[in-house]
Chain A
């Protein structure tokens, strides 16, 4: 097994890496100013010229790019290359509004695969591995992204896409899948189905590694998945606007390495837009350094995270982002208190009696916000004494209250009744009419 996909780049001292970033940033600013009428206008409005950008510190002079910009310029108004140079489109699902279109040159696809190639190597996936890609293929970036990354490092790809769980489990056993890539909620669903069929992940499959993402999940959920199946579960990060899935954690499981020669990461205060120092929690902002078709300058990702530039035990020097704790637009405001579904998950997953699935219901009753959480119970935890169950509901409510600082109703429901999902899961039903 090889340790690094590109040791020279991946272990490069941070100051040398920053020199590469600086040079690529200067080139990028020139490039978008010349090739994108959108960015020329945006820079002109902000009163900044390409020649004003000399060092990395000057990055802060550049205006932000928002998802709204991609929507307003739908479909290709922000592209920097003629159509003849495009080799692929991906289109977002448009779940939160108009879809966004991302175009790729041949080199963009290669850079994307390279990014994931490094990431897969960092979790020990490479030649000899069978990677079952159970993310959706097609317009969604997850499937093809992992697919090309796996081919880059010489793994054998099983491009099964999402759904048809019986087949997934059958081929996993017959073809000796070692690595599975899918949403965490689909993995949970798969493990339930496997249980029902009497398939034991540890005994009956060769699965060692899971690459889970496309929706937020928590450290507590990781522990549960790993304990239940004996695999190592890794977080993967990316968004369709940047390319798709691009980065994962390394085997240290202590943050996701963002390849500095390809991207610049900043963490900002989402309210003021000011750049925050390393270690402070804020909104993730990414600038693409090597993209040709659709480069993005200071793109507001909308995820809350923390930047970590400290050397990683794996030997990689590239900056890490710590586990994404929620999205700026996922935040619920209940009676003036900010609540993230991820906080709820992390409280629930620490309580062994509580199952893996939950649903948050928010209502406004008599001008008052109320939050109710439906949970399922682990079969082993079931007691036939009413008091034990009432005690469990109270225990969950009080654990939530101490973390969220909010009184929460807890309702235990029958197992299997909360929605299971094979794609991105929905964990909040907000019935407030505001």
Chain B
């Protein structure tokens, strides 16, 4: 089951100029490539969430740069880039009582779409999606996107 979890890097950043530049340049030096990225902003601060090709390295450089950073298990769902896909996924999870805490999506070169979600019950979510034949990404896939 756990091989289907994706390590997401999350960090706390004050909402002020230059913070993102600092993070990005740490990654540049460490050759960490960002696959998916989002900022949730809440007034004075923001939480930056991202999926990267080398999560351990990313965690270390951000921690060494003084950031409060954590690793969260999320799921990466592969979707066909056509209407109705998101509806299907959210419906099957909803029926099993799995709540999506947050989600973000991106489209790749291969004309697939990927949806990253954090859920309140990872195991049930993986089980449900597998039963429905909905493909999930693992860390290898993330590295090769």
Contact = CB atoms under 8 A, between A and B. Distances in A.
B99 to A, nearest CB: 12
Nearest to B46: A386
A377 B42 CA distance: 16
Main SS at interface, chain B: strand
Contact of A379 (B44, B68, B72): B68
B40 A386 contact: yes
B45 A384 contact: no
A314 interface: no
Interface stretch (A148-156, A179-187, A299-307, A412-420): A412-420
Nearest to B70: A382
Interface string B101-127: 110000000000000001000000000
Contacts of A389: 12, 42, 45, 47
A382 B68 contact: yes
Contacts of B42: 386, 389-390
A30 interface: no
A18 interface: no
Interface in A77-110: none
B102 A412 contact: no
A356 interface: no
A384 B8 contact: yes
Indicate the size class of the contact surface on chain B: 20 to 34
Contacts of A386: 40, 42, 47
Contacts of A384: 8, 10, 47, 49, 70, 72, 118
Contacts of B14: 413-414, 417
Contacts, number: 46
A266 B44 CA distance: 48
B67 to A, nearest CB: 7
Contacts of A412: 12, 44-45
A413 B101 CA distance: 24
Interface in A333-379: 377, 379
A415 B72 contact: no
A385 B44 CA distance: 15
A385 B70 CA distance: 11
A376 to B, nearest CB: 8
Interface of B: 8, 10, 12-14, 40, 42, 44-45, 47, 49, 66-70, 72, 101-102, 118
Closest 4 CB pairs of A and B: A384-B10, A416-B66, A386-B42, A382-B68
Given A377-B12, A386-B42, A386-B47, 16 more contacts: A377-B68, A382-B69, A384-B10, A384-B49, A384-B70, A384-B72, A385-B102, A389-B47, A390-B42, A412-B12, A414-B13, A414-B67, A414-B68, A415-B12, A415-B68, A417-B14
22 contacts: A377-B68, A379-B70, A382-B12, A382-B70, A384-B10, A384-B49, A384-B70, A384-B72, A384-B118, A386-B40, A386-B42, A386-B47, A389-B12, A389-B42, A389-B47, A411-B44, A412-B12, A414-B12, A414-B13, A414-B68, A415-B66, A415-B68
Interface of A: 377, 379, 382-386, 389-390, 411-417
